Structure 1
């Protein structure tokens, strides 16, 4: 136990101490700026050099060529290195190498300005694409910045500053006002408001007191807290979030992988056609080498798939980054793509549509048992269970001051209830459906029907001799459930509810929430079967659950959506999409974001393909100037990237 006066002592000491924050030096800031925007700065520098070279060209050709060469090197270094890396290590061609070859080819026949402008616009579009990735990574960097490096361990009245990696489960840490919480844990002493926006995306601080869970990376308010560590630094919810978003950014969607495969084949084809355009016309049509080389360079520029390649990932990264800032974590672009195709959203009931905190409403003892004895038996047996109904029964017994004795040989009857040995007898607690027929009397059946008509969940307690009582519990629907379901329906998507609860209770909750498709009294394996049937009937299905009992159904669905507010490992590991603030209203927004992303990608691809087709046709039909080809092709690349960047908003 902590001393009662420890908080007062800490707060008094804090009034006498002040901490200093060392701002980074101006030298470090300048270096950081140039490192972050190096590609963009190189592109702009090459543009400035081109302008200088063009001006000097009126006076000295040799001087302008030297400056053009400098513009080539500065603007084309990054993309040229990427192209050579693909050529040497993967023995393949990509769009970067095509552009460098086109620029060098233009310069080789005297078109220095056109080649340099191609390098400039190509490097500028590359810088924009890098900006998208960097912006997405900055969201992770800003999260990483929230990770505390040290913690104050409190032991026997002594405070010791240690690195968070040294913290062990069970340690007590002191978190002063304004500091970040160093590890996941439980408040043991003190009270404060905690800003959990880094975890849940919600901006309003949450009040915390003794017994409440807190998470690493969240910001303490005005009170000092003594927190017992429950997870090591690498296992904290904060660390998992960072890992998940990093994986999401690196995982490529199916459409992007297709485009990359297409790019490799397309690039080889373009090189072959370009060589034919250089070699064939002088022999077959009697054209000059300069004329055919120029036309071939124009073709190489306008036919390159830069805009097509840039159509997908900037948009995907922007959307993933946008949703992560709001506490909605996608595990990859593929899931964002799939979410746009969803036809049905299936919800688990308890803890998803409802608050997951049922309360005991009725205690009906039978077979000569008193209310106290019946509740003692039920609560003692359920004391080892983590099910929400079990917790509610245990809480009711504790509030009545009833002493509990742990059972032995507790066994979970999946989807039905529990069985245990208690005080020399075998007991079962669970759904009425598990009762043997001879135990289900008319009186008991009447009681069950009456309670279920009221929308309550009925639990039966019986031993080897008789049914000893009935406990009714009721859960309340989430405040935002009706609005969330209405918003999903407005998108033209069906909503279903899958629950293991009794039919009458399920239908009452469904009516209140506005759900038409209701499936009740389901075992975990039944949910999996039902998800498969819904997929056959409707197509793509999203399943929303708590990530523990619903893990098989989450894995079977097209997109598994988990409630991650409680930070359960199963929620983070099984689902494709995690709602960190448990806000089911975010589901409609996430689906809308998926649809918007798909629309923007389609716009980008159609626009890019149309521009390439028009430029190639114009080049063969009438011939176009290399500068126009450069502006048309690279301009389209910049436009598709900017279109994708709209999703950052």
Structure 2
């Protein structure tokens, strides 16, 4: 390493050390000069006492005085920083150098500790931004080329070795491995990935090598969206904090006015000496300042946002963390939210001489090239059972029926038929009709397979309910929340799903604009949260008090519109988010009540008791530190 590089490295280290620990270094220096001033007075070097105190004032109070003066000059407003400095200077002006210096020291210590606690909160959020690797290995034929992530293009094939972090969103094209997705989705258990599975940038590959085809540019990955959401959350302040900041400016003027009145009236009205009056006024400036009150909200809110991010819940701002805690109704979209949104074969009933596998194989052979979701479900089920599929010929779609074609010399038809027509036509026996009706009552779509006029089998297709959907809804209901389901599906299907998951009310046959009307109508019960994943959910997400989008399954429009994103599509996180919002509100209220109580006690003690400036400073700054630490409880 060259001398220049060594010097630059040392310089960089010093800059990092100074920027990270500046508050603590300044506080220690301030205390050091206070100690030297005390030693000077104790051992007869009185000429050095005031200069050392002055150094303590300048070093400990310079930054706060500068910030307070900037607010005064630029915004024509007062803040608590300037109040503290004025109080310290006032104490020194009547000979209480030590008291003023202790005020500056404790104020500086409080600022340093507040900086550390807020930094800890922000660090846990910013750690998300460090997940994306800087480089990736691109496969070019048989060659491997290491490139920067910014240079990757959609369609590139990336090699991810065991133990490496995945650099881009994509589809696995070769290999098998388990991938730890906790950083993105909050899932604690690694997920097995093989050919055709989706993977996300920022997740950690396990024991196997994977070849991934990049499907999204770097700026459009799920991780990039998370980073964007986190940046939004950090910059947006909740209404309570905005109110508190406005209140602080007004309150600071009230405190200054009160201090001036205390300076002027008591000598004439109460007969106090000017020295005692000024001292009481300085104590009032300190103890009446709303530092603890102002610090009651944001540390708690940032901690709550950080807690959510670690558990796969992204809040786009503190306002939504506050709002979700006050939710009285949760409305769920059905398809893709309460259900997986992927139709699956739930049952195959063969008839005649056909077996279950034969019926499934014939149906899959006819549906191989179809893009219809039900056709894909049939083919997927056949592949899962490793069935051999035949090549179908003379394929033709039959409107209102399905498809028909020739498989191994026989003409087969497969499709969805109306049960009433089947009964009238005499094609279904009572037994077969009962089986089909029972499947429909269970929420299945019934598909019939025929050869000529002979029914060879029935296939039941159903959009399966998400794991833990019922438990999640039960948990919400135990929290006193009304749960409803909104869907565009038919009433019969919707009612069956609604009963299975246990919602309080089902709204069916809805268009997107109808969902908006329902959300507005539900507002009579209080704040409404809407949980959805699709483009058709976006209007309802926008009009609700809190829009919650499914992160992994959700469309870009839903993610952009929503206020909260569930990264793992885990419905249990809805109740967790509401509980987190409620707990945040409780802690904020506790902090505010504590801050006001301490402030009133100190103000009353100043007039009725014999509280001195150092004790007032300790009470005031101590309460500020305590409410910050109280807010950090949400990091657990």
The interval holding the TM-score normalised by the smaller chain is 0.7 to 0.9
Q: How does 1:109-508 map to 2 (within 5 A)?
A: 109-282=94-267, 287-360=272-345, 383=371, 391-392=376-377, 395=380, 450-457=438-445, 472-508=460-496
Larger Rg: 2
Structure 2 vs 1, CA of residues 72 and 460 (structure 1 numbering), >3 Å: closer, same or farther?
Answer: farther
2:604 maps to which residue?
617
Shift of 1:316: 0.5
- Tell me how far 1:397 sits from its aligned partner: 9.1
Q: CA deviation at 1:486?
A: 2.3
285 and 140 in structure 1: CA distance in 2 versus 1, 3 angstrom threshold: closer
Quick one: distance in 2 between partners of 1:458 and 1:267? 71
* Structure 1 residue 46 corresponds to structure 2 residue 26: no
Quote how far apart the aligned CAs of 1:248 are. 0.6
Indicate how the Cα distance of structure 1 residues 577 and 457 shifts in structure 2: closer, same or farther if over 3 A, else same: farther
Q: Shift in Å at residue 339 of structure 1?
A: 1.0
Q: Is the 8 A contact 1:132 1:317 kept in 2?
A: no
Q: Which residue of 1 aligns with 2:595?
A: 608
Structure 2 Cα separation of the partners of residues 321 and 550 of structure 1:
27
Aligned residues: 594
Per the alignment, residue 352 of structure 2 pairs with: none
Deviations 1:551-604 (Å, cap 9, x if unpaired)?
222112111111112364234212111111111112222211111111111111
Residue 544 of structure 2 is aligned to residue 544 of structure 1: no
2:509 aligned with 1:521 = yes
Tell me what 1:19 maps to.
none
Cα deviation, residue 451, structure 1: 4.1
SS in 2 for 1:57: helix
Match of residue 39 from structure 2: 55
CA-CA distance at 1:371 after TM superposition: 11
Q: CA deviation at 1:605?
A: 0.8
Query: Given the alignment of the two structures, is residue 556 of structure 1 paired with residue 554 of structure 2, yes or no?
Result: no
Question: Would the alpha carbon gap of residues 404 and 73 (structure 1) be closer, same or farther in structure 2, given more than 3 Å must change?
Answer: farther
In 2: Cα distance, 1:372 partner to 1:86 partner: 76
Q: Does 1:532 align with 2:520?
A: yes
Q: 1:395 to 1:623 in 2, by over 3 A?
A: same
Task: Note the residue ranges of structure 1 that are not aligned, 5 or more in a row.
Answer: 1-23, 365-369, 409-416, 424-428, 462-468
CA distance in 1 between counterparts of 2:263 and 2:493 reads: 77
3-state SS of paired residue (1:355): strand
Q: Aligned-pair distance for 1:391?
A: 4.9
- Residue 453 of structure 1 deviates from its aligned partner by 1.4
Q: Is the 8 A contact 2:362 2:390 kept in 1?
A: no
Superposed displacement of residue 168, structure 1: 1.1
Structure 1 contact 79–97 (Cα < 8 Å) conserved = yes
Partner of 2:631: 644
TM-score of the superposition, structure 2-length normalised? 0.83
Give the aligned CA root-mean-square deviation in angstroms. Answer: 3.8
1:576 aligns with 2:563: yes
Query: Any unmatched runs of 5+ in structure 2?
Result: 1-7, 350-358, 406-413, 450-456
1:343 aligns to what SS in structure 2?
Answer: strand
Specify whether residues 162 and 374 from structure 1 end up closer, same or farther in structure 2 by C-alpha distance, changes over 3 A only: closer
Report if the CA contact (8 A) 2:332-2:532 is conserved. yes
Cα distance in 2 for partners of 1:418, 1:633 equals 77
Q: Structure 2 CA distance, aligned partners of 1:547 and 1:647?
A: 32
Cα distance change of structure 1 residues 449 and 298 upon mapping to structure 2, 3 Å threshold: same
CA distance in 1, matches of 2:448, 2:528: 34
| In 2, Cα distance between equivalents of 1:242 and 1:430 | 46
Question: 2: CA distance between counterparts of 1:521 and 1:362?
Answer: 26
Residue 475 of structure 1 aligns to a residue whose secondary structure is: strand
Alignment CA distance shift 1:169-1:353 (3 Å) = same
Kept in 1, the 8 Å contact 2:345–2:462? The answer is yes
Name the SS for the 1:358 alignment partner: strand
Does the residue aligned with 1:170 lie in a helix, a strand or coil? coil
Query: Compared with structure 1, are the counterparts of its residues 418 and 491 closer, same or farther at alpha carbon in structure 2 (3 Å cutoff)?
Result: farther
Q: Is the 8 A contact 1:310 1:640 kept in 2?
A: yes
- Contact 1:252–1:334 at 8 Å: present in 2 too? yes
2: CA distance, partners of 1:605 / 1:85: 27
Secondary structure in 1 matching 2:503: coil
Give the alignment's TM-score, normalised by structure 1.
0.82
Q: Which position in structure 2 is the counterpart of 1:102? A: 87
**Distance change in 2, residues 1:389/1:79 (3 Å):** farther
